[in-house]
């Protein structure tokens, strides 16, 4: 990777609705979401493309596009076997790439 190209850690922003959902989660949900955030902002590709797509992730998180017809669109980070999730988009801007969380849920 060239030094002039953006690389992790990525910036992460939240829509107002997703942030409100996150803030209303119980402590165990917020803790898991923050651990998932740490994974997403430090990995080379937040969409984890490839054959062993989730091989480098902890066992409690999987990443998938919600629709196979939009592999570069929003993705879902399933947490704790579906107990919660984050919906996010990785915006690959050259100057400031960032992850935008648009939905957060914890059951």
Mean pLDDT rounded to a whole number for the chain = 84
Structural contact between residues 78 and 96, judged by C-beta atoms closer than 8 angstroms: no
Name the nearest CA neighbour of 47 among 13, 69, 74.
74
The predicted structure's pLDDT at residue 63: 84
pLDDT reading at 50 higher than 60: no
State how far the Cα of 18 lies from the Cα of 13, in Å rounded to an integer: 10
If pLDDT is split at 50, 70 and 90, which confidence band does 1 have? very low
The predicted structure's pLDDT at residue 61: 84
Sign of CA dihedral 78, 80, 86, 88: negative
Quick check: pTM over 0.85?
A: no
pLDDT reading at 102 higher than 90: yes
């Amino acid at each position: 990777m060239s030094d002039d190209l953006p690389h992790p850690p990525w910036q992460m922003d939240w829509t107002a609705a997703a942030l409100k959902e996150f803030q209303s989660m119980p402590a165990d949900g917020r803790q898991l979401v923050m651990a998932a955030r740490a994974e997403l902002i430090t990995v080379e590709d937040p969409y984890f493309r490839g054959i062993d797509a989730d091989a480098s992730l902890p066992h409690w998180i999987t990443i998938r596009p919600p629709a196979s017809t939009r592999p570069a669109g929003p993705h879902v980070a399933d947490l704790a076997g579906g107990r919660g999730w984050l919906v996010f988009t990785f915006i690959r801007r050259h100057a400031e790439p960032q992850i935008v969380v648009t939905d957060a849920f914890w059951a």
